[in-house]
């Protein structure tokens, strides 16, 4: 509601101003609006205005909790669209899928979850299908397979289907205790390139 101004006339007692009832009705309406704003504890907007906004201790405490449109500084900056500074994401901050090792349980089919670790280890106990899950284009994973001495073989699937697995170099050696270093990169959701090498 816009402020209601009482018409006081041109001169005292000239009879041109608001009647007493009308004047006090305007006063009541003005006070009602003020008290309603106080009850809701709401400042509608100060955008585009000038002057000083004074906050009491309650306002400051709420601001610390809610941080409305706070201007963030440091490695992450901005007030609405946040931006991460260049060269600030450290090894400690990256996801576990890029910095952990996972020991795979032997079996006929073994899931290699690209979301779970960067390095996988396995000692097979039978002919084994390595089944890639959650592949991401551009991601490279390392799998260290220790030979079991059973002349076991390794084959690949992706999500339980055949996919395309292009062997660049090397072959799997299941000689007991022989470590096979397999490096595999995802080039599409169903295509991979990989190599196998052993310690010289």
**CA-closest candidate to residue 114, choices 132, 93, 101:** 132
Residue 28 near residue 1, CB atoms below 8 Å: no
2.40.10, 1.10.3470, 2.30.29, 2.60.120: CATH of 91-198:
2.60.120
Structure confidence at residue 53 as a pLDDT band (50, 70, 90): low
- Residue 185, token pair as written in the block: 């990169």
The neighbour count for residue 117, using CB atoms within 10 Å, is: 21
Q: Tens digits of per-residue pLDDT, 72-117?
A: 666 666 666 777 778 878 878 888 888 999 999 999 999 999 999 9
Is the pLDDT assigned to residue 62 strictly greater than 60? no
Burial class (CB in 10 A: 0-12, 13-18, 19+), 52: exposed
Is the pLDDT assigned to residue 133 strictly greater than 90? yes
Structure confidence at residue 13 as a pLDDT band (50, 70, 90): confident
Q: With H, G, I as helix, E, B as strand and everything else as coil, classify residue 8.
A: coil
**Domain ranges within the chain, ordered by starting residue:** 20-84, 91-198
**CA-closest candidate to residue 159, choices 132, 136, 186:** 132
Burial class (CB in 10 A: 0-12, 13-18, 19+), 200: exposed
Q: pTM of this prediction?
A: 0.60
Is the pLDDT assigned to residue 199 strictly greater than 90? yes
The neighbour count for residue 97, using CB atoms within 10 Å, is: 17
State the pLDDT at residue 56. 63
| Helix (H) or strand (E) run with residue 29 in it | helix 20-40
């Amino acid at each position: 509601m816009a402020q209601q101004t009482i018409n006081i006339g041109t001169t005292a007692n000239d009879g041109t101003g608001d009647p007493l009832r009308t004047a006090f009705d305007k006063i009541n309406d003005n006070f009602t609006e003020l008290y309603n704003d106080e009850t809701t504890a709401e400042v509608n907007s100060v955008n585009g205005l000038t002057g000083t906004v004074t906050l009491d201790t309650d306002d400051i405490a709420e601001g610390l909790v809610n941080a409305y449109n706070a201007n963030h500084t440091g490695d992450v900056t901005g007030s609405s669209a946040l931006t991460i500074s260049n060269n600030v994401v450290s090894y400690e901050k990256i996801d576990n899928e890029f910095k952990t090792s996972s020991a795979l349980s032997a079996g006929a089919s073994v899931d290699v979850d690209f979301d779970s670790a960067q390095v996988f280890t396995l000692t097979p106990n039978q002919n084994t299908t390595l089944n890639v899950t959650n592949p991401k284009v551009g991601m490279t994973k390392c799998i260290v397979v220790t030979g079991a001495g059973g002349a076991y073989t390794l084959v690949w699937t992706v999500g339980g289907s055949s996919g395309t697995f292009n062997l660049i170099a090397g072959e799997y050696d299941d000689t007991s205790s022989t470590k096979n270093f397999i490096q595999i990169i995802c080039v599409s959701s169903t295509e991979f390139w990989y190599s196998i090498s052993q310690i010289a």
